[in-house]
Amino acid sequence: MKNYMVIQNTYSEFLGLIEKQLERRDIGFDYYRPFLDQGLPASVGQFDGVFILGGALAPNDPSLEHHDDVLRVIQLFRKSQRPVVGIGLGGLLVAEAVGGEPHAEPEYTAAFVKAHKTEAGAGDALAEALDGREVLALHHGSASLPEGLEPVLVDKAGRWLAIHPEKHTYGLLFRPEIKPGMLEDIIMEEGHNPPPNIVDLLSEARMKWPEMQAVSDQVVVALVTELGLMQERRKAPIFSLKVEQ
């Protein structure tokens, strides 16, 4: 069975809308929660790929204590040429892993924006599907891209929304997994650091719920197409340490 690692950075931010889409395709996943001091594995051979989710901090915030561990895991998956999908904070960490520079500003990005395909996005399944669609950008801080890496999706101001730096890797700053209930959880989660406009954002999300679901569907189809998410990779064998008497 296909099995993906999912790195969760807060209680309230999980795969959300994407979960059912993966389950329908017989794709399993295991959550890892380093913010609860749950260590990340030293090797990744037992997984087909990794999703790195959103969070309450900028990528270079000193309070993100598991920053280096997540980057290490991203690099392991990249080296093994297995799918890497970063979303929100995860997208910023992917950008950093491929040579980008993280920044603390802007403190908040929380808005529905229209996505625009770039020249680099021509022929890219994700960029083609979302060109002209409204998506929810929600993250803290930013990351400047390394020289030579062009985004496949940008907002109307030219800020990047999605990168596809190599065959098996995507970084997304928009949030296809978010449900209105997750925004409610972000508001309620102690110490989460939600953006100041999150109540208005929640109201807008409720009104745009059908469109958000459609965008999520398109994102998963595009990722399956581009990354081969339904392809099962060769897994490292798991040995039992039980001694037979």
Q: Which residue type sits at 224?
A: V
On the CB side of 230, CA atoms within 13 Å amount to 11
- Sign (positive or negative) of CA dihedral 79, 84, 86, 91: positive
Q: In the CATH hierarchy, which fold is given to the domain comprising 2-227?
A: Rossmann fold (3.40.50)
How many residues are given for the chain?
245
- Beta-carbon contacts of 29 under 8 Å, excluding residues fewer than 6 positions away, are 3, 4, 5, 6, 15, 19, 22, 51
Q: What is the longest distance spanned by two Cα atoms in the chain?
A: 68
111, 201, 121, 195: which is closest to 154 by C-alpha?
121
Residue type, 211: E
Q: Bridge-partner residues for 163, per DSSP?
A: 171
| pLDDT at position 240 | 42
What integer pLDDT is reported at residue 236 of this predicted model? 65
Residues of the chain with pLDDT under 50: 238-245
